[in-house]
Amino acid sequence: MILRVKNTIDEKKANELGKELDAFVVKYDGSLLLVTPTKLKEVSEKHKEFVSESFVFNDDIQLASKKFIPHTREIKISDNISIGGKTNNTVVITGPCSVESEEQIEQSAQLCVKLGVQIIRAGCFKPRTSPYSFQGMGLEGLKLLDKMRSKYGLKVISEVRDSTHVQDIIQYSDIVQIGAKSMYDHGILKACAKTNKPVLLKRGFGTTLQEFVQSAEFILSGGNENVILCERGIRTFETKTRFTLDLCGVAWLKEHTNLPIILDPSHAIGYAYGVPDLTRACMAMGCDGLLIETHPNPSVAKSDASQQLNFDQFTKLYESLKSIATAVNKNII
Ligand code: PEP
Ligand code: MN
């Protein structure tokens, strides 16, 4: 249950009530909330005097539920970039899978500036499937991203591989990405709960929608209200494409949760030839953002070479999204 505490109750008292009810105490929209175990379905006589409003749930999706907030949350990435809420914005994010060198990330930053893309993506701590693959440039790569941030005024999203470098990612980026393989990592989820930085949580490729949103609840219940979901493809029986982009799942998330949703067609299909059409399908669905991998020379990319678009392919795709955005009442930002 979520109990909205009366505004005459101070934080100390709310924390005492939280202990009594085994509840998380979180702030939302200027009020204090007690988020109790879902099995609690009624406010006891003893607690009624402290509570102004209550919300009952039949599963462990509480803070992320539309039954609690009936619209999509607005997540502010910076003073002039917001998604969700009343904005109708679809934020286009692009960049390489990994930072590989200063020259490569500089070229990527220049592509963003040329097209008006405001957020650059690139991983520095890569959670690879094999120990023999490129693992990322680590802190050195993050500092290169930070350089692009100051030089070009771009915002940065980069992924966290384990909880040891969450603070570095927070320091050098504007959105913390939790990758598909880390969706269940409680060290990362709990560290991200303690910051106010927007967090992009990717769906694990073998997880249900319920499990996905429950992971988001770890961040929300720990105190960070800025969570964005990302569908990036799930594993099915099909092997011709890398994963299967679950657009049905996206429809479900839009209907039942209050979190903005960014779609990642690149990791879903895994092959550049299909990325433009799939991206247009995502745009037509009216998502809050798109994450598309690009590389100055995809054939030599150190990770995810087969799916990254070259700059010409991306430029054509980006132009083609504009009329689709208009048709579905979205603003590309
Ligand atoms: C990535 O964004 O480069 C990445 C590794 O994605 P995922 O976690 O979805 O595999
Ligand atoms: Mn990648």
Tens digit of each residue's pLDDT (9 = 90 or more) over 111-122: 999 999 999 999
Among 120, 243, 267, name the best residue to mutate to test ligand 1's pocket (greatest count of ligand atoms within 8 A of Cβ).
Answer: 267
CA-to-CA distance for 272 and 155, rounded, in angstroms?
25
Distance of CA 282 to the CA centre of its chain: 16
Token pair recorded at residue 267:
């990791």
Q: pLDDT (tens digit, 9 = 90+) per residue, 51-93?
A: 999 999 999 999 999 999 999 999 999 999 999 999 999 999 9
- Best residue among 135, 290, 304 to mutate for probing ligand 1's pocket (most ligand atoms within 8 Å of CB) is 304
Rounded-to-5 percentages of helix, strand, coil across the chain? 40, 25, 40
DSSP string, 165-178: GHHHHHHH-SEEEE
Percent of the chain with pLDDT over 70: 100
Residue at 101 is within a domain: yes
Which protein residue's CA is at the shortest distance from atom 6 of ligand 1?
A: 179
Which residues are found with C-beta within 5 Å of the ion, ligand 2?
97, 304
Residue with tokens 């591989």: 161
Q: Tell me, what's the pLDDT at 57?
A: 97
Q: How many CA atoms lie within 13 A of 119 on its CB side?
A: 27
The reply to whether 276 falls in a domain is yes
- The verdict on 47 and 88 lying in the same domain is no
* 165 in the same domain as 283: yes
Residue 109 lies in a domain: yes
**pLDDT tops 90 at residue 29:** no
Is the CB of 202 inside a 6 Å radius of any atom of ligand 1? yes
Q: Is position 280 within any domain?
A: yes
51 and 82 co-located in one domain = no
> Quick one: average pLDDT of 265-270?
98
* Residue 4 CB less than 6 A away from ligand 1: no
Same domain assignment for residues 88 and 137: yes
21: left (phi over 0), alpha (psi -120 to 50) or beta: alpha
CA distance 137 to 158: 12
Average pLDDT of the residues in 42-53: 95
| Beta-carbon-side half-sphere exposure of residue 271 (alpha carbons within 13 Å) | 8
Using DSSP's 3-state secondary structure scheme, residue 55 falls into strand
pTM over 0.85: yes
CA 170, CA 195: separation in Å to the nearest integer? 8
Q: Are residues 203 and 325 in the same domain?
A: yes
Q: Average per-residue pLDDT in the chain? A: 97
Q: In the chain, pLDDT over 90 holds for what percent of residues? A: 98
Q: Domain count of the chain?
A: 2
Give a yes or no: residue 165 inside a domain. yes
In a domain, 61, yes or no: no
Average pLDDT over residues 181-195: 97
Residue range 262-290: mean pLDDT, rounded: 98
Residue 65: inside a domain, yes or no?
no
Domain, as residue range, for 203: 74-332
| Predicted local confidence at residue 204, as pLDDT | 98
Evaluate whether residue 67 is within a structural domain: no
| Cα 331 to middle of ligand 1, angstroms | 25
Burial string for 103-139 (b: 16+ CB within 10 Å, else e) reads ebbbbbbebbbeeebbbbbbbbbbbeeeeeeebbbee
Residue 90: which CATH number?
3.20.20.70
**319 with 271, same domain?**
yes
For 125, 218, 254, 300, the CA distances from 307, given in Å and listed in that order, are 19, 31, 27, 12
User: 51 with 103, same domain?
Assistant: no
**What is the average per-residue pLDDT within 192-212?**
98
